[in-house]
Amino acid sequence: MIGPSLSYALAGVALFALGLYGLSVHPHLLRKVLAFNVTGSGVFLVLVSLSQRDPGTPPDPVPQALVLTGIVVAVSATAFALALLRRLYALTGKTGLDDEPAP
Amino acid sequence: MKPSASHHLERLAAAALAASIGLALVAAIIRLPKPAIELSARVAAHLAESGVRHPVTAVLLNFRGYDTLLEVAVLLLAVLGVLALRASASAPAARPPASVSPVLAALLHLVIPLMVLAAGYLLWAGGYRAGGAFQAGAVLGGAGVLLCLAGAIPPLRSPGGWSIAALLLGFGVFLAVAAAPVAGGARLLEYPRIWAGALILLIESGLTLSIAAILTTLFAGASDGPDAAVRRGNSDPPAGARKG
């Protein structure tokens, strides 16, 4: 794999690692949800860039279709996560998990 | 509060872990082997049978239609979850309608018809170029979110009959078209060859409306309306709240 596809894939990996770091260091659940979305964006970027591995060849439509539906599913799952988070806050006043120090 | 030394150590450990996973992924991507099956060649070979002329739409609605059907079911589950959490939360007291900025109202008169037009174009374009139900639904859902922000769509308490119909339409049409061939002895999602194009357009039209309704409901169901932030600012924290 060469050229622009590779740089996009590497940028996707960087996003994934960045999201992973955010997910593990931030106790606030909203930040965790955001960090998880950053990881997801990294995965999508890697998948899309892998769909055209050699410049000049037609892109593979299968990963593109997967990412297309994946983005909409990720948005919906994020909305559900945010609803859960708000419910947790309304019930307990907490914005983090029990086994982590309070933000 | 000053972060303690152990806090710094934790952050360093997390950074090291994320960096090492990232480096392992970089190594894997650089030395990625050639795929055993050239999927793009297979898609190109069977594109004429799919009923559409764009390979991504053919994959989404025909070759891997089962994935897409289940993904729409996942969207419905997310909406169901948000609505369930909403219904169990105590309904806030009725309040006067929010004041909406005149700029936003004027902008909406301009933008909403254009968004509907763009969604219709994207839906139709999916047959022969980049486009399709998910893009069209996202644009239409964006229009719905704008209407929520302007207060034209009230924050959702419990959806009525029409909203439920709009939410379920896409999945229902998709499931009906997918299951109909079974009655004729064919397999699930095995569209009749001549009707494939028309059936895919039918499914995509339903999906566009439903995805827009789902995205709008997710927003309306999770928000308290445009003036919620103002109200929250000068109200007390919920009962049982603890100082962190």
Give the pLDDT confidence of B207-240 residue by residue, as tens digits: 999 999 999 999 887 665 444 444 444 444 444 4
Please determine, for residue B241, whether its predicted confidence score (pLDDT) is greater than 50.
no
The pLDDT-based confidence of A19 (bands split at 50, 70, 90) is very high
pLDDT of residue A98: 75
Q: List all residues of chain A from 9 to 68 with a beta carbon under 8 Å from chain B.
A: 9-10, 13-14, 16-18, 20-21, 24-25, 46, 50, 53, 57-62, 64-66, 68
CA distance linking residue B168 with residue B184, whole number of Å: 25
CA distance linking residue B25 with residue A9, whole number of Å: 10
pLDDT digits (tens, 9 = 90+) for B141-195: 999 999 988 888 877 767 788 889 999 999 999 999 999 988 888 888 888 888 8
Share of chain A above pLDDT 90, in %: 60
Please determine, for residue A51, whether its predicted confidence score (pLDDT) is greater than 80.
yes
Which residue among B11, B40, B134 sits closest to A61, beta carbon to beta carbon?
B40
pLDDT digits (tens, 9 = 90+) for B69-86: 999 999 999 999 998 887
The pLDDT-based confidence of B21 (bands split at 50, 70, 90) is very high
Contact between chains at B134 and A69 (C-beta distance less than 8 A)? yes
pLDDT of residue B3: 58
The pLDDT-based confidence of B41 (bands split at 50, 70, 90) is confident
* Helix and strand element counts for chain B (H, E): 9, 0
b/e map B95-132, b = 16+ CB within 10 Å = eeebeeeeeeeeebeeebeebeebbeebbbbbbeeebb
pLDDT digits (tens, 9 = 90+) for B84-129: 887 665 555 445 456 778 888 899 999 999 999 999 999 999 989 8
User: By CA distance, what is A3's nearest residue in B?
Assistant: B30
